[in-house]
Amino acid sequence: KAGVTQTPRYLIKTRGQQVTLSCSPISGHRSVSWYQQTPGQGLQFLFEYFSETQRNKGNFPGRFSGRQFSNSRSEMNVSTLELGDSALYLCASSRDASSYNEQFFGPGTRLTVL
Amino acid sequence: DQQVKQNSPSLSVQEGRISILNCDYTNSMFDYFLWYKKYPAEGPTFLISISSIKDKNEDGRFTVFLNKSAKHLSLHIVPSQPGDSAVYFCAARPYNNNDMRFGAGTRLTVKP
């Protein structure tokens, strides 16, 4: 069974630009969550999508948004990039959004904002 | 608001000995706890989990212990192997919500 895949793996953007990251969950998984990892803040929850609906949202500004498609693939968008958005963005999938199901992570997208 | 804390940034043990990684949490709504292992430039890899109805879960060399009254959990690795060297993250969430909160991580080094 293929794992969680994320594209692209590396991205370099400049301040003010926008970026879209993509995540394909494990087959059969309907919940997709996004996390940001930085050296200073660690791993922080961005949001979760289930059945094309955002179920939970972390404490990030509105510049961070996402969506989920009917095949459970998800995209995350960051608009008006700031230097502080440089981070490893991780996507995780699980069977559903309830009960004791572990989340499986993709390799991440390393975003550098210059 | 650090709801999950790993107070030891690093731990060094000798190969073959026991590694004990600790984690504390503050949110009483958490009832599902997970440990992940992470290598540089990779996503976290799920290791083991425990629900609040249990106080111990074992999987091979890995055992997680949960003390709900103390809001404390620990991961025991026995025997430790050099390949276990990585950063270990403790994570917690309510059972019906995938908003998972992570600790800051503990870097484990297992010396041959």
Residue B44 contacts A, CB cutoff 8 Å = yes
Q: What is the distance in angstroms between the Cα of A106 and the nearest Cα belonging to chain B?
A: 5
For A45, the closest of B36, B96, B101 (CB atoms) is B101
Q: What angle do CA A48, A65, A108 make, to 5 degrees?
A: 65
Q: Exposed (0-12), middle (13-18) or buried (19+): which is A58, by Cβ within 10 Å?
A: middle
Residue with tokens 């009832």: B31
For A94, the closest of B98, B103, B105 (CB atoms) is B98
Does the pLDDT of residue B91 top 90, yes or no? yes
pLDDT at B24: 97
pLDDT < 70 positions in chain A: 1, 97-99
Residue B60 contacts A, CB cutoff 8 Å = no
Contact assignment for A105 to B44 by CB distance below 8 Å? yes
DSSP, collapsed to helix, strand or coil, labels residue B95 as coil
Closest C-alpha to A89, from A39, A29, A37, A42: A37
CA A99, distance to chain mean position in Å, is 21
Closest C-alpha to B31, from B88, B91, B76, B74: B91
pLDDT at B41: 78
pLDDT at A99: 66
Closest C-alpha to A63, from A103, A23, A36, A90: A36
Does the pLDDT of residue B1 top 80, yes or no? no
Chain A residues near any Cβ of chain B (below 8 Å): 4, 31, 33, 35, 42-45, 48, 50, 55-56, 58, 90, 92, 94, 97-100, 102-108, 110
| Maximum distance among all Cα pairs of chain B, rounded to whole angstroms | 42
On average, the pLDDT of chain B sits at 94
